[in-house]
Amino acid sequence: MNDHDNILLRMEDLHVDVGQPPHRVHALRGVSLTMKPGQRLGIIGESGSGKTMAALSILRLLPPTATTLRGAIWYRSQNLLALPEERLRAVRGKEIGVVFQNALTALNPLFPVGRQIADVYRFHEGVAADVAWDKAVATLDDMGIPDPQRRARAYPHQYSGGMAQRAMIAMALVCSPSLLIADEPTTGLDLTIQAQVLDLIHDHVVASGAALLLISHDLAVIADMCTDVVVMYAGEVLETGPLREIFAAPKSPYTKALIECFGVNVQDRRLAYIAGRVPDLRQEPVGCSFAARCPLADAICRRERPLLRQIGANHEVACHFA
């Protein structure tokens, strides 16, 4: 990692299982990705593809039933998977901020929102309580929350969904992290509030130079927010590279099918869909995990798992025929 000073985050061959036999699921199967400072990287894929699991692995926030079998996650020069918990706590919130899917459940219902934000700032920056409180109020104000002094004293249940999400973003950004992880940050919000929340995130990362790892099922959101994209399916990466290049000319049959699902057949106005089912990850798929649903699949696809290989500048794909 020391030879790659321009790399902010590197995930290497990450394998994660969830549950116990006979119900153990191979949730992540050799996931690798790289982020540079200031990069805005989106992760897309169907539900259950491993998007959230990959993101939560970065800060070891996996559910208790999850087991990391092997791999490494480097943040600058530190392997986060090998850090003692005390040192990892110094990274969470300070170096890497996280915005979860549902702020109303992520925020602690027992404490005022302002106190929760102030506690994060005080823990990492070592400032006095009044300084931390002022910072929390100022950050809520930056997030566009009206009357931030009063709102800082309110509890999460007194916030609307959109306001709670803004508060969660404030908590994630209060220490000016170098990397912001946003996992479906607009889930459950109406379209107007979604746009406002995404604008807040976008404006911050652009202004501060922070990197953004954005998880979304909405390709339009990814296209607006990100410069690069990772396409996941059945716990692995099938394609990764510059967003515009991949969206304009996808090389993986799965990426192509996924993009087509966001279009409409002009003649009969029918929505496109991907036929078939995602493989049961209680068993390791043999060959390509997308072979059973792929129109290009041949015997080699059912026999040998394709590995990611470079086909262009920063563009990689896992497909025998790409």
Q: Going residue by residue through the chain, which has 322 residues, state the pLDDT in tens, using 9 for 90 and above.
A: 444 568 999 999 999 999 998 899 999 999 999 999 999 999 999 999 999 999 999 999 999 999 998 999 999 989 999 999 999 999 999 999 999 888 888 899 999 999 999 999 999 999 999 999 999 999 999 999 999 999 999 999 999 988 999 999 999 999 999 999 999 998 888 888 889 889 999 999 999 999 999 999 899 999 999 999 999 999 999 999 999 999 999 999 999 999 988 764 445 556 777 888 999 999 989 999 999 999 999 999 999 999 999 999 899 999 999 8
Delineate the domains of the chain, giving CATH numbers in brackets.
93-222 (3.40.50.300)
Both structure tokens of 287: 């060959």
Reported pTM: 0.93
DSSP state of 291: G
Rounded to an integer, what distance in angstroms lies between the CA atom of residue 235 and that of residue 39?
23
Taking alpha carbons only, the member of 33, 16, 34 closest to residue 25 is 16
Residue 15 dihedral angles phi and psi, to the nearest 5°: -120, 125
Pairing of strands 9-18, 25-35: antiparallel
Rounded to an integer, what distance in angstroms lies between the CA atom of residue 132 and that of residue 244?
41
Question: What pairs with residue 68 in β-bridges?
Answer: 16
Q: CA 46, 49, 52 angle in degrees (round to 5)? A: 105
